[in-house]
């Protein structure tokens, strides 16, 4: 009987310690799972957005080119040829969100924005010949066409206001990033902006 009276408290104590360990492990594991889950949800949303075209604009213009040539050193009347080109230009502003620097502090429930990516501006002009007026004696040659096409493309590049396009693109980027910030707030995260570009007061 004395032996049983000593063994019983031992088993009760061991069972109590085991219960505490199991409860502790379950609690810490649940916390770790939640931390990892929060991190995955936020970073996965950013990966989905990936390289994002935020602004796309189309422009068009027409250009008339006249070339006057002298025949036989001016002994014959000069000849004039004319060509009209139509240029369609597509301008895009995109951001590679893989280059955005941020920290997901799952312990203190903070989404820290450290750096936003720079805008990538792409201008794509396409030149078409609308009309060509030349003569048998004075044709447009390949060199003429290449020069005129280059001139039309150069004018298209100058037409696009890249500073305004960049500013509009940055504004649209911040609006699109709202999806990430709203998601973070839904997970009870606070937004900490270190770029000075994001209005965190609305989150």
pTM attached to this predicted model: 0.68
| Residue count (the chain) | 203
Rounded-to-integer distance, Cα 169 and Cα 164, Å? 8
Q: pLDDT digit string (tens) for 133-182? A: 887 777 889 999 999 999 999 999 999 999 999 999 999 898 888 888 88
Give the pairing of strands 76-96 and 120-133.
Answer: antiparallel
- Give the DSSP letter of residue 135: B
- Give the residue extent of every domain in the chain: 50-202
Q: pLDDT digit string (tens) for 90-121? A: 999 999 888 889 888 888 888 999 999 999 99
Q: How far, CA to CA in Å, does 158 sit from each of 112, 115, 120, 154, 163? A: 38, 30, 17, 6, 12
Q: pLDDT digit string (tens) for 46-55? A: 777 667 778 8
């Amino acid at each position: 009987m004395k032996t049983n009276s000593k063994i019983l408290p031992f088993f009760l104590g061991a069972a109590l310690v085991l219960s505490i360990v199991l409860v502790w492990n379950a609690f810490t594991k649940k916390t770790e799972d939640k931390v990892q889950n929060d991190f995955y949800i936020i970073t996965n949303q950013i990966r989905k957005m990936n390289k994002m075209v935020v602004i796309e604009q189309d422009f068009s213009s027409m250009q008339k080119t006249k070339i006057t040539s002298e025949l036989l050193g001016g002994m014959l009347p000069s000849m004039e040829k004319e060509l009209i080109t139509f240029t369609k230009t597509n301008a895009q502003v995109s951001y590679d969100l893989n280059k955005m620097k941020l920290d997901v502090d799952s312990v203190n429930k903070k989404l820290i924005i450290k750096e936003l990516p720079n805008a990538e501006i792409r201008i794509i002009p396409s030149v078409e010949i609308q009309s060509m007026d030349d003569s048998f004696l004075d044709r447009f040659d390949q060199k003429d066409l290449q020069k005129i096409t280059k001139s039309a493309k150069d004018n298209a590049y100058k037409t696009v206001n890249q500073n305004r396009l960049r500013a509009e693109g940055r504004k649209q980027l911040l609006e699109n990033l709202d999806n990430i910030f709203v998601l973070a707030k839904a997970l009870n995260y606070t937004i900490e902006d270190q770029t000075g570009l994001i209005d965190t007061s609305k989150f």
